[in-house]
């Protein structure tokens, strides 16, 4: 009998091993309270990282994440900073909280994201996680809109959309660097300050579960290179006709310094023995600006063409996610909210009404890919992606693309597939009716 039982046990173990992904076999069980480090760059193009095809910018640390984790090819943000960050913090479409466009760099300080008690950092804090935001906030200037009010235990960074990398002044000339709610005046290049404070946060919270949001402002204008002190002529949009005109080399130097910061964060996790118990997510907040490389996508930031909303995204979690995997599962920023809450086993109240989905079972290979229907709206553009089809309304003009066959949106199929347009156009109308009703009902 003992031999029979042993044989049955052995057969059961073999069956379980065969049912699990090959990369996971022999891996120890993952602790139930993993750390999460979310790293976000700013205004960087889809094709500006080596792992996404960049020929002229060296990003060895981001590329290492891609080798050691899962690289997503079809991941989306909003077309500008504020709405993307609003969707992350709320886990819902940014239109519901009336933050569809970027908050202005000058004026507009009476607007921002009001706390609800159901934000991503607040729910994690309720779950006994240490929570930190290092870098860019851009969801409101006044104290009642600030990061600490939304559940971040610790904040070091700036509240505006952009600041001088060296003087830390915002577009109206006011000082914009804070530790929690207190203005601080450290010397240093902003990218390096963000990295140093991120590393320090990890050191200070290594003995407890933590969530760290590292929001670099590289490579957003003003285009100030590291190691060469300068005061920006203005903390405002810099275009090709400005004198002196910034260059692609300036932009590359800024992004490469952020990549070096990613490397320091990864080194600190490894040195403290936290690597295997930490989910690291790397992404970018919207499409790249004019110095960026968005190839093979069309157009750039502030538009709903793919170059304005599709962004790089990489998930690394050793022992839980496979290495060197590429996934074309469609995702969007508010999926990060749902995925992080699921990974950390954080209770989510029904009233949070998350609209994102947990991508981790799909990236792990435990669940099949799912078809998504996603929406965007900005200024005079509206768009919906359902499966491989994307309908873009540019004012009264309708464009239809099959993104599986035409990632660069070269071939407009509107004339050939009016049947698809008739199916998809009402989807946008229904979505707008829904999100706008909620916004108006909240008094925003």
**Residue 161 half-sphere exposure, CB side, CA atoms within 13 Å?**
24
Residue with tokens 């229907």: 373
Contact 236, 167 (CB under 8 A): no
Calpha distance 353→213 (Å, rounded): 22
81 part of the active site: yes
Calpha distance 183→421 (Å, rounded): 52
Identify the active-site residue in 15, 138, 175, 185: 138
**Residue 192 half-sphere exposure, CB side, CA atoms within 13 Å?**
11
205 part of the active site: no
Calpha distance 59→57 (Å, rounded): 6
Question: Kind and range of the H or E element at 423?
Answer: helix 418-441
Q: Which residues pair with 153 in a beta bridge?
A: none
Handedness of CA 441, 331, 57, 272 (dihedral sign): positive
Calpha distance 408→402 (Å, rounded): 10
Residue with tokens 């089809």: 389
Identify the active-site residue in 4, 15, 81, 197: 81
Contact 84, 287 (CB under 8 A): no
Calpha distance 218→232 (Å, rounded): 15
- Which residue numbers are catalytic? 81, 138
């Amino acid at each position: 009998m003992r031999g029979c039982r042993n044989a049955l046990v052995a057969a059961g173990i073999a069956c379980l091993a065969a049912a699990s992904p090959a990369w996971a076999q022999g891996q120890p069980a993952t602790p139930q309270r993993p750390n999460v480090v979310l790293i976000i760059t700013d205004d960087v193009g889809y094709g500006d990282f080596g792992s996404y095809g960049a020929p002229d910018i060296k990003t060895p640390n981001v590329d290492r994440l891609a080798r050691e984790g899962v690289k997503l090819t079809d991941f989306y943000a909003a077309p500008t900073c504020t709405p993307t960050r609003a969707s992350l913090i709320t886990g819902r479409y940014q239109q519901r909280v009336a933050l569809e466009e970027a908050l202005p760099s000058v004026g507009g300080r009476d607007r921002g994201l009001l706390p609800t008690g159901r934000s991503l950092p607040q729910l994690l804090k309720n779950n006994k996680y240490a929570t930190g935001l290092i870098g860019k906030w851009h969801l409101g200037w006044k104290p009642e809109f600030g990061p600490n009010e939304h559940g971040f235990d610790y904040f070091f960074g700036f509240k505006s959309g952009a600041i001088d990398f060296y003087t830390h002044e915002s577009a109206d000339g006011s000082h914009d660097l804070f530790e929690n709610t207190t203005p601080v005046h450290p010397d240093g290049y902003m990218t390096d300050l963000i990295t140093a404070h991120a590393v320090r946060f990890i050191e200070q919270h290594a003995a407890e579960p933590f969530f760290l949001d590292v929001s670099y402002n590289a490579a957003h204008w003003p285009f100030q290179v590291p190691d060469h002190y300068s005061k920006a002529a203005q903390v405002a949009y810099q275009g090709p006709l400005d004198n002196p005109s910034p260059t692609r080399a300036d932009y590359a130097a800024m992004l490469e310094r952020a990549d070096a910061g990613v490397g320091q964060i990864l080194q600190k996790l490894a040195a403290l023995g936290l690597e295997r118990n930490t989910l690291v997510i790397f992404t970018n907040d919207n499409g790249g600006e004019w110095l960026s490389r968005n190839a093979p996508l069309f157009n750039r930031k502030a538009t709903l063409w793919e170059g304005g909303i599709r962004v790089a995204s990489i998930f690394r979690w050793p022992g839980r996610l496979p290495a060197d995997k590429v996934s074309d599962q469609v995702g969007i920023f508010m999926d990060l909210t749902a995925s992080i809450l699921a990974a950390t086993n954080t209770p989510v109240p029904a009233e949070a009404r998350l609209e994102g989905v947990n991508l981790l079972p799909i990236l792990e290979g435990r669940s099949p890919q799912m078809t998504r229907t996603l929406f965007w709206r900005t200024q005079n553009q509206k768009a919906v992606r359902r499966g491989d089809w994307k309908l873009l309304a540019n004012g009264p003009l309708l464009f239809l693309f099959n993104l599986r066959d035409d990632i660069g949106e070269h071939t407009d199929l509107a004339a050939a597939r009016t049947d698809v347009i008739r199916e998809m156009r009402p989807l946008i109308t229904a979505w707008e009716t829904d999100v706008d009703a909620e916004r108006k009902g909240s008094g925003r």
